[in-house]
């Protein structure tokens, strides 16, 4: 493979100071070297048709597919700077685009096992589909359901008829008691009893006749369904075998030139197996190519090009960190032997961030949480509102935190000092008796004065802790907003959340179906800044002891 055709040399790169550490890939921070290369790649993308891949729709009826691109600035064996380019997955149904690094393993290559073995799986899928569409199978199922419906109608009719006959017989008995002799009445009773038995026998025989027909049809259906189950089991087994073989062939190098397959990498992760598409993202492709060709990685960045997906939040030309579920385990291996920056989130100092107590009494207090301080301890960072409050009030440590704010969100928080207050405050949150107001600074001009956002949310299983919009499995999330002011290309708003979903205000602000303008400083859904410009400014609630309606506010610093 000719390495030179994948390297792009720029004079501008040589003018930028070379970093001493590789940038941490899971938290985006401005990296001049990588961004210089990214800007050059963006210009190239604008001039290429990429196999007619449509990144941006020109009208509502046009199908578009945005794509993640990445650049890796490297030092070649002569010490010169250049950059490599990659795209996630495929573009225009192809793994190969001129000037972009190839996949780590090309499933579609001529000598790959994939095409032949996938044909076996495809054939089984087709057999299942054909059997499910077989005219006899469809006809039998229709006949079965028709018989079940007919049985229900007939049985209901006979039951109602028997009920009506019983009422009529009771009326006959009542009338006969007045006019018939004892002997005549006895004969009538026998006659009526026979009619009752006849009704019951008719119902029984009807049910038996239908049941016999239904069982005969079920037996015929079962023949088809046994074949279906056998084919589906075989398809599942063949798919599993093929998937495992794919995972075994995806092998990644690290800076120490050590190789590991996807199965090796994910065996100790929280996932049972590698997720679909693992290894197809930009970062693994770029680093593997660099190691394979003895190029020294210096800086990496990924950016989104094109329209945003329906669920996720991706902005055209915005930079994004590597994903968590697919890339983090892989890059954990690939970055071994490379000097990498410390996780900036861990490096964020919170010890100098003071908690302001806004109000305090015997059983609860109200604080102003600073941006950059966790509400509760994390897996790595332990400094938090909870740990500090427990240190101040050791007798209350089992029942203090009533609700949470995101680490980068500042503002009003309630802290309980007694079990009674904790229970009462939590109950108000659960029953939505509290009213909260946030102030946010949006990174753009919002044209509407006020409105409501209704977008259900759930966690992005492939990229925690990100949240995505999901109308099928998401939890309801409602937000009302009002404009405070528009100034210098930005918009300050009030947010009134009616529900309390994770990242609700951040997603409702940034998503294309929401306000389509991220909050300033949002490192997950927008562009990082010195802080997230989101502040819990006001909370209204019932006093947990006196039950009076009270309001607490925290001044906003932006």
Residue pLDDT, tens place only, 406-444 = 999 999 999 999 999 999 999 999 999 999 999 999 999
Domain assignment present for residue 123? The answer is: no
Mean pLDDT of 77-104: 92
* pLDDT at position 483 over 80: yes
Place of tokens 């996630």: 88
pLDDT at 78: 95
Residue 381 lies in a domain: yes
547 assigned to some structural domain: yes
Residue 119 is assigned to a structural domain of this protein:
no
Judge if 12 and 75 occupy the same domain.
yes
Smallest Cα–Cα separation from 452: which of 494, 396, 407? 494
Q: Are residues 167 and 311 in the same domain?
A: no
**Per-residue pLDDT at 58:** 66
Q: What is the mean pLDDT of the chain?
A: 93
Are 433 and 326 within one domain? no
Burial of 7-23, coded b for 16+ CB within 10 Å and e otherwise, reads: bbebeebeebeebeebb
Domain boundary pick from 208, 228, 245: 245
Cα dist from 538 to 321, 367, 368, 438, whole Å: 33, 11, 10, 7
Question: What span, in angstroms and rounded, lies between the C-alpha atoms of 267 and 447?
Answer: 50
Answer yes or no: do 207 and 75 share one domain. Answer: no
Helix, strand, coil percentages for the chain (3-state, nearest 5):
40, 20, 40
Owning domain of residue 144: 130-245
Q: Which of 201-215, 284-298, 341-355 is predicted with the least confidence, judged by mean pLDDT?
A: 341-355
Identify whether residues 378 and 494 lie together within a single domain.
yes
Do 235 and 267 sit in the same domain of this protein? no
Shared domain check, 315 and 231: no
Separation between Cα atoms, residue 8 and residue 84, nearest integer Å: 7
245, 270, 298: which is the final residue of a domain?
245
Whether 118 maps to a domain, the answer reads no
Sheet holding 81-87, edge to edge: 81-87, 67-75, 296-305, 319-320
Task: Give the rounded percent of residues in the chain with a pLDDT score beyond 70.
Answer: 97
pTM over 0.75: yes
14 in the same domain as 71: yes
Q: How wide is the angle at C-alpha 201 spanned by C-alphas 195 and 204, nearest 5°?
A: 150
Residue 74 included in any domain: yes
Residues 152, 183, single domain; the answer is yes
What digits encode the pLDDT tens for the residues 248-281? Answer: 999 999 999 999 999 999 987 777 789 888 999 9
User: Which DSSP string corresponds to 249-316?
Assistant: H-EEE-TT--EEEHHHHHTTSSSSSPPTTTT-SHHHHHHHHHHHTT-EEEEEEEEEESSPPSSS---T
* pLDDT at residue 515 in the model: 97
Same domain, 453 and 382: yes
What integer pLDDT is reported at residue 244 of this predicted model?
A: 92
Task: State the pLDDT confidence band at 92, using cuts at 50, 70 and 90.
Answer: confident
Known catalytic residues are: 406
Q: Model confidence over 146-156: pLDDT tens digits?
A: 999 999 999 99
Report pLDDT for 273: 82
Residue 289 sits in the same domain as residue 329: yes
Based on the structure, what is the number of domains in the chain?
Answer: 3
In a domain, 392, yes or no: yes
User: Last residue of some domain: 345, 366, 384?
Assistant: 345
Query: pLDDT tens for residues 26-80?
Result: 988 889 999 999 999 999 998 887 756 778 776 655 566 899 999 999 999 999 9
Residue with tokens 């590698």: 274
pLDDT over 70 at 536, yes or no = yes
Residues 387 and 485 in one domain: yes
């Amino acid at each position: 493979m000719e390495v030179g055709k994948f390297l792009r040399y720029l004079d501008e790169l040589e003018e930028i100071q070379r970093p001493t550490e590789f940038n941490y890939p899971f938290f985006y921070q401005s990296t001049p070297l990588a961004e210089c290369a990214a800007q050059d790649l963006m210009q190239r993308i604008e001039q290429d048709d990429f196999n007619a891949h449509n990144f941006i729709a020109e009208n509502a009826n046009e199908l578009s597919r945005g794509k993640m691109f990445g650049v890796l600035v490297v030092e070649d064996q002569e010490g010169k700077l250049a950059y490599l380019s990659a795209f996630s997955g495929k573009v225009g149904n192809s793994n190969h685009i001129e000037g972009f690094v190839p996949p780590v393993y090309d499933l579609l290559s001529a000598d790959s096992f994939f095409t032949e073995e996938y044909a076996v799986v495809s054939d089984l899928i087709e057999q299942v589909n054909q059997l499910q569409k077989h005219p006899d199978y469809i006809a039998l199922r229709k006949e079965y359901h028709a018989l079940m419906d007919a049985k229900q109608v007939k049985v209901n009719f006979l039951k109602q008829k028997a009920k009506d006959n019983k009422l009529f017989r009771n009326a006959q008995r009542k009338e006969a008691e007045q006019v018939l002799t004892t002997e005549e009445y006895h004969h009538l009773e026998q006659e009526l009893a026979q009619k009752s038995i006849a009704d019951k026998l008719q119902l029984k025989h009807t049910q038996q006749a239908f049941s016999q027909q239904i069982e005969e049809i079920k037996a015929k259906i079962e023949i088809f369904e046994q074949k279906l189950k056998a084919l589906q089991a075989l398809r599942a087994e063949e798919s599993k075998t093929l998937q495992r073989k794919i995972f075994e062939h995806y092998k990644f190098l690290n800076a120490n030139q050590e190789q590991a397959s996807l199965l090796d990498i994910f065996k100790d992760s929280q996932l049972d197996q590698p997720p679909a598409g693992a290894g197809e993202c930009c970062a693994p492709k770029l680093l593997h190519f660099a190691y394979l060709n003895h190029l020294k990685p210096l800086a990496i960045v990924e950016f989104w090009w094109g329209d945003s997906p329906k669920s996720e939040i991706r902005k055209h030309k915005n930079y994004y960190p590597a994903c968590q579920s697919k890339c983090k385990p892989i890059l954990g291996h690939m970055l071994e032997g490379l000097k990498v920056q410390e996780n900036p989130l861990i490096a964020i100092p919170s010890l100098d961030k003071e908690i302001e107590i806004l109000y305090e009494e015997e059983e609860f207090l109200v604080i102003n949480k600073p941006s950059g301080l966790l509400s509760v301890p994390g897996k790595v960072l332990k400094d938090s509102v909870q740990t500090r409050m427990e240190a101040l009030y050791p007798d209350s440590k089992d029942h203090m935190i009533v609700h949470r704010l995101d680490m980068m969100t500042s503002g009003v928080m309630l802290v309980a000092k007694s079990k009674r207050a904790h229970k009462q405050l939590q109950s108000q949150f659960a029953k939505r008796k509290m009213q909260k107001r946030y102030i946010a600074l949006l990174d753009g001009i919002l044209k509407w004065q006020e409105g409501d956002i209704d977008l259900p949310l759930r966690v992005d299983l492939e990229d925690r802790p990100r949240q995505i919009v999901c109308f099928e499995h998401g939890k309801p999330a409602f937000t009302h907003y009002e404009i405070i002011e528009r100034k210098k290309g930005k918009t300050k708003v009030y947010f009134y959340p009616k529900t309390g979903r994770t990242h609700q205000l951040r997603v409702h602000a940034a998503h294309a179906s929401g306000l389509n303008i991220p909050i300033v400083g949002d490192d997950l859904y927008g562009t990082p800044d010195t802080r997230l410009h989101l502040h819990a400014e006001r909370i209204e609630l019932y006093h947990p002891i006196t039950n009076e309606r009270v309001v607490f506010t925290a001044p906003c610093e932006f």
